Amino acid sequence: MESYLNENFGDVKAKNSSEEALQRWRKLCWLVKNPKRRFRFTANLSKRFEADAIRRSNQEKFRVAVLVSQAALQFINGLTFSSEYNVPTEVKAAGFEIDADELASIVEGRDVKKLNIHGEVEGIAVKLATSINKGISTSNELLDKRKDIYGINKFAESPARGFWVFVWEALQDMTLMILAVCALVSLLVGISTEGWPKGAHDGLGIVASILLVVFVTATTDYKQSLQFKDLDREKKKITIQVTRNGFRQKISIYDLLSGDIVHLSIGDLVPADGLFVSGFSVLINESSLTGESEPVNVNYGNPFLLSGTKVQDGSCKMLVTTVGMRTQWGKLLATLSEGGDDETPLQVKLNGVATIIGKIGLFFAVVTFSVLVQGLFSRKLQEGSQWTWSGDDAREILDFFAIAVTIVVVAVPEGLPLAVTLSLAFAMKKMMNDKALVRHLAACETMGSATSICSDKTGTLTTNHMTVVKACICGKIKEVGTSKETSSIFSDIPSTALSILLQSIFNNTGGEIVINKDEKIEILGTPTETAILEFGLLLGGDFKSERQALKILKVEPFNSVKKQMAVVLELPNGGLRAHCKGASEIILAACDKVIDSNGEVIALNEASCNHLKDTIEQFASEALRTLCLAYMEIGNEFSAESPLPIKGYTCIGIVGIKDPVRPGVKESVAICRSAGITVRMVTGDNITTAKAIARECGILTDESRAIEGPKFREKSEPELREIIPKLQVMARSSPMDKHTLVKHLRTTFEEVVAVTGDGTNDAPALHEADIGLAMGIAGTEVAKESADVIILDDNFSTIVTVAKWGRSVYINIQKFVQFQLTVNVVALIVNFSSACLTGNAPLTAVQLLWVNMIMDTLGALALATEPPNDDLMKRLPVGRKGNFISNVMWRNIVGQSVYQFVIIWFLQTRGKAAFNIGGPDSDLILNTIIFNSFVFCQVFNEISSRDMEKVNVFKGILDNYVFAAVLTCTAVFQIIIIEFLGTFANTTPLSFQQWFVTVFLGFLGMPIAAALKMIPAGSN
């Protein structure tokens, strides 16, 4: 079966599956009882085609707009414009000078001419009653007016589906419809031949069973939809930095209004349509909107920023013009959201299993019906009444047909693929409480097979609370303490050197020091930038005065490939100065001068160079992150377009930043090792720092090795094949090194790889990995968009929790499949063999519907929602090649099926003698005993299925209240069916002895299951 599934249903991957693969498996699943329910959690391919068409249309529209604006620019210079725009009355009354449609047409159409008519960006800001420096006023009255005129930044969502919609969908089941027709015919024939109410019992029994199945199914599906709704809400929680009332603050992107001043930096999602106010080196990726992969330069000449695009490089201030459904992204998002998530590989495989068993079931149903009808004909031929047919005969044929249809109901395990979503929804909800937000369903199950985790160091293995603890300035190594201590320790540093150091710290930074709305000083930026700015404040520096004293001419933001950032300043007395900072050895290699202990610039001789290199090594061996700061005087001929010099800098100093290892990381790494998961650390840090942290975390062992990114890049394919299995630490790595490592692990070594990432440049590796894990706190929006799971607390221990839940999901679904296939096999064989050999079926339509509900909906609820236990992390991972239906499962399915079939067959052939049953009701009593034994076999088999390999299946049984509740309800309802609903369910009350024996026969399945677990199953 596994090879058939892999051949026909194995094309669908956990991510990035082709459209052909998604189409192919759908065509193979032709035997579906309820398409609406079966395909509810699969991608809507027609909506995806629609979204692609919108993208293509946008691409063409924007291309035309760019050409028009370029042509317009050639005529604009030197022309004066007369405004033909009339402000609508209601807009004027609200205090604004431009309406929403006009704003939308300017940005969406990239209309330079209109922008100039309205006075460019400054003019638009005035007309929007906002300030480029202070932002909008936050008085409630003004905010409400703004919302009324320009709308809110929320997008249309498909309305939540109510409970009755799920009831209606559950009723769409083809087999249930056929049974409903059978019930109606049975009612009509029964009442006409036997009268009311006796003739209605059979029909009403089927109707009641159908309604029970429908309502239980609808309730489960409805609750599941609410869980997914909650998760969707969590996914959309995105905050952005804005200036309002002159204060910087974080707000939700859904609270943005036209006129807001937004601060964007590398990796951010552009939250609304707007105009560029100021900034440096801004590159925007518009592929989400237009499908165009080439990034667009945004500057004063091309100031248009579109909602839904991503900041690929640089940083800027943006004036929000258009929000919500007025933006192109809002219109596209409505279609995109209806496209849905790709189906998961397990869903597809189980659809395949359901199709195979459905075909077998359909064959058995047809044969059973034929045999039963042939038996009736044979009997009538013997009696010589083949030409006379009564209502009873018609009802008998109808009953045969109902049994055949019910065999299809039981045989097509519609619940298999849905059990996957049930288990995933349950796990995703619980994982939210454990600080992991799953963005894609498939990631949950794939994480259970993970064999390798490539983790960042900063913020994942460490706390990300950085502080400068040591510095080497003017050749002197100093400890950094509190403000007073630091001021006194650094008091012997010459004022010229201190001045240059503070100039470098406060100008060459991606961070900012602002006054927040509580009127307190707040340092914004990455943890590294925050640590250095804090160091500048400790030295007595003033951020605002340093920034106002000089004009910034050019900014090169931090680049994880170059491992540095730089800025060019225009000095007050003329001349230009470049400051750069970054990876110590890289910046030091670019220096040929250094500031000495007297504050004078001298040539960097071998002794000074070695002293600085030893300092870097000393800081790194203490697990400190080292950064080197340098500057260079450059000529006035330099322009903003010119590249920065790569040599000739003067070294200002080296700082050592402490980032402590997170508590619990060492234990989590040990858990991964015992679970067969290899943890590798991939970091941009110095190799000595990386090794020190890796040893502290328990990642780097004596047998393993560490390598630097540049050396890794130079290795040939055979060398990489030899190095990678032992590789535990990669230092000074670039995003492409991480991507190469992940690709080799996945393809060459066929590992299932999870990768963590927080920066924009990590997106390719996150996309390439089987499971991309983005950091919720430190991660950029671009990284989160590319990820499958967001680690909300940025903690490595949470990644281990995700792996544990992933394994739990995988094993829970295996347990459910094992349980359901056992019921399928036994129900099919019992009814088929009985029909063939005795001419009647022991299980009626109503009884089979109840059995179907036990194994389908209730079984999924009980087994697919088992919480994980610590033992899961003591077994080896499934990996990429593990069979889903394992030899262990086949052993348990076959063993249990044989036992149950033997019991049922014995009761059918010897039951009357064994229980000493006689009289006119003997067949009814025997069939009730068979039905009761069969149901209790399933109840105890459900308990045995809690663990497929261990004998003790009672461990933690009461911790799972869902399992306990399902078992209790099944047993209680079974008693009610037998004792009180006999007329509808074709049962009769049983004596105490009969109850005891039937329950005991069910219970006997447990020691049988325990004995089966002792039999070695061999490898998969």
Q: How many Å apart are CA 755 and CA 738, to the nearest integer?
A: 9
Q: How many Å apart are CA 751 and CA 760, to the nearest integer?
A: 25
R_g over Cα of the chain: 36
SS (H, E, C) 346-400: HHHHHHHHHHHHHHHHHHHHHHHHHHHHHHHHHHHHHHCCCCCCCHHHHHHHHHH
Residue 456 designated active-site: yes
Catalytic residue among 260, 456, 770, 788: 456
Q: How many Å apart are CA 228 and CA 219, to the nearest integer?
A: 15
Which residue pairs from 165-171 have beta carbons closer than 8 angstroms and sit at least 24 positions apart in sequence? 166/217, 166/218, 166/219, 166/221, 166/222, 166/225, 167/214, 167/215, 167/218, 169/34, 169/36, 169/37, 169/40, 169/218, 169/221, 170/34, 170/37, 170/213, 170/214, 170/215, 170/217, 170/218, 170/221, 171/214
Q: Measuring CA to CA, how many Å separate 406 from each of 399, 400, 542?
A: 10, 10, 80
Q: How many Å apart are CA 359 and CA 362, to the nearest integer?
A: 5
Place of tokens 């007073």: 484
Dihedral sign of CA atoms 466, 468, 469, 472 in order = positive
Give the residue from 746, 743, 745, 738 showing the smallest Cα distance to 762: 738
Sequence-distant (≥ 6) Cβ neighbours of residue 657 within 8 angstroms: 466, 467, 468, 469, 528, 531, 532, 624, 625, 626, 627
Largest CA distance in the chain: 125
> Dihedral angle at the C-alpha atoms of 529, 534, 538, 542, nearest 10 degrees?
80
Place of tokens 């750069």: 580
For helices 2-9 and 19-28, give the axis angle rounded to 10 degrees. 130
Q: How many Å apart are CA 165 and CA 30, to the nearest integer?
A: 24
Sequence-distant (≥ 6) Cβ neighbours of residue 160 within 8 angstroms: 225, 229
Dihedral sign of CA atoms 468, 473, 477, 483 in order = negative
Sequence-distant (≥ 6) Cβ neighbours of residue 298 within 8 angstroms: 276, 279, 282, 283, 284, 304, 305, 316
Across the chain, how many H-helices and E-strands are there? 40, 26
Both tokens of 896, joined, read 């249990």
900-912: b or e for each residue (b if 16 or more CB lie within 10 Å)? beebbbebbeebb
Q: How many Å apart are CA 84 and CA 100, to the nearest integer?
A: 16
Q: So which residues are the catalytic ones?
A: 456
